[in-house]
Structure 1
Amino acid sequence: MPISKLSRRKFVALTTSTALANMLASSSLALTDASAKQLIDAAVSDINRVISSGKALNAMIKDFERILVKYGDVSIIARSALGPDARSLSNSQLRSYTKAFQGYISRKYGKRFNEFVGGKVEVVGARPVKSFYEVTTKVTLKGQAPFQVNFLVSDKSGKDKFFDMIIEGISLRLSEKAEIGAMLDRRKGDINLLIQDLKKAG
């Protein structure tokens, strides 16, 4: 009996996530809780500055993209979201896809800044998990109970960067893997059409 497309995608997502975890686990643990916390402290400081800036939404989204590029490992997040299909891309396609994915993520999550106005984000602590660190932050918004956003930090790229955000228990990296997979399925696996879609999505 043939494996369904959904089953194949679930299998691919599982094996890709396992491979990424093993890849991170195989690197030396040069990070410390202090350096991981310092990275997210700086990112949170920049985020809070944007929240309180009073800028228009489009300007806030541009600021969020700069924060994402400065503190996030966009390349790993983008490749993880695409999964094994990333290995078949040419260098130029991979660059175009990563750039389009960066803009897509910035728009999608940057729009949430409107919800953050009048609130604040603060770092609570950090703990080692295998070869990376999980830095916990508390988000307090007006009229809502505080909630957690956790950043997973690694130095695999040669710099301390976060490679995932866990928002109220939901992984950005894994949820975007499902989104990108669905978008690619709709385009029958055509990566160039996916890139064009990502430039407008979010």
Structure 2
Amino acid sequence: MNFDPSRRVILAGLLSATSVLAAPGAFALSESEARKLIDTAVAEINKIINSGKSESQMYGDFERIFRKYADVPTIARSALGPPAREASSSQMNAFTDAFAGYLSRKYGKRFREFIGGQIEVKSARAVKTFQEVQAVALLKGQPPFEISFMVSDRSGSDKFFDLLIEGISLLKSERAEIGAMLDKRRGDIDGLVSDLKKAG
């Protein structure tokens, strides 16, 4: 199914990460539960970073971690934005799978910069309807920088739905990237899926 780019532009302002992800009422997820999730995820990331594996093997491992600890369907739907409402279920499934691989390659390349270093979880705090788990990346010969994981149990299990690296939101940056890619395809979601499989 195609989505008119002009409609995407008009509707883009109607969708934001908070409107998609915020759940009504008080959240049940505690700070300790959110921190435990990210402690485990970060331990696996650190293990991969310093595993000595090839680049392609590392990307596969990063995708496994992403699918295990992230709310992939929610992230994918938010990144696609308004066109997700027009997409068929099969298109959304294909987009979600392609998007997961794309993100794993893209951010896997960034995490390769951490070889010889590590990520340390520092704290967790309640923010609106979710928990923010703050960590710091320690790289050899470079100043440390912050990484924050936004964690929610809205999907039915504890998952992170956004990642901030040096204050830059994965959701916001990817929504802009995906929107630009979709515009180039004149709203063709199937074409976008094909592009994502080669991107990252």
TM-score range, shorter chain: over 0.9
| Amino acid paired to 1:128 | A
Matches within 5 A, 1:23-172: 24-172=22-170
Separation in 1, partners of 2:174, 2:11: 14
TM-score when normalising by structure 2: 0.93
Q: 1:175 aligned to 2:173?
A: yes
Partner residue, 1:190: 188
Please list the CA deviations of residues 132-183 of structure 1 after superposition, one character each: whole Å capped at 9, or x if unmatched: 0000000000111000010000001100000000110100011000000000
Separation in 1, partners of 2:148, 2:118: 15
Separation in 2, partners of 1:145, 1:63: 27
Contact 1:60-1:113 at 8 Å conserved across structures = no
For residue 55 of structure 1, give the secondary structure of its aligned residue in structure 2: coil
For residue 82 of structure 2, give the secondary structure of its aligned residue in structure 1: helix
Separation in 1, partners of 2:114, 2:165: 14
Contact 1:13-1:177 at 8 Å conserved across structures = no
For residue 29 of structure 2, give the secondary structure of its aligned residue in structure 1: coil
Q: CA RMSD in A?
A: 1.6
Partner residue, 1:16: 15
Gaps of 5+ in 1: none
For residue 81 of structure 2, give the secondary structure of its aligned residue in structure 1: helix
| Amino acid paired to 2:135 | T
For residue 179 of structure 1, give the secondary structure of its aligned residue in structure 2: helix
Please list the CA deviations of residues 5-61 of structure 1 after superposition, one character each: whole Å capped at 9, or x if unmatched: 78963x64442114225xx24154110000000000000000011011111111111
Separation in 2, partners of 1:75, 1:37: 22
Higher relative contact order, structure no. (Cα contacts within 8 Å, ≥ 6 residues apart): 2
Residues paired across the two proteins, number: 195
TM-score when normalising by structure 1: 0.92
Separation in 2, partners of 1:153, 1:93: 27
Q: How much does 1:112 deviate?
A: 1.8
For residue 143 of structure 2, give the secondary structure of its aligned residue in structure 1: coil
Structure 1 moving runs of 4+ over 6 Å = 5-8
Gaps of 5+ in 2: none
Contact 2:8-2:83 at 8 Å conserved across structures = no
Change (3 A) 1:62 1:128: same
**Structure with the bigger percentage of helix:** 1
Q: How much does 1:107 deviate?
A: 0.7
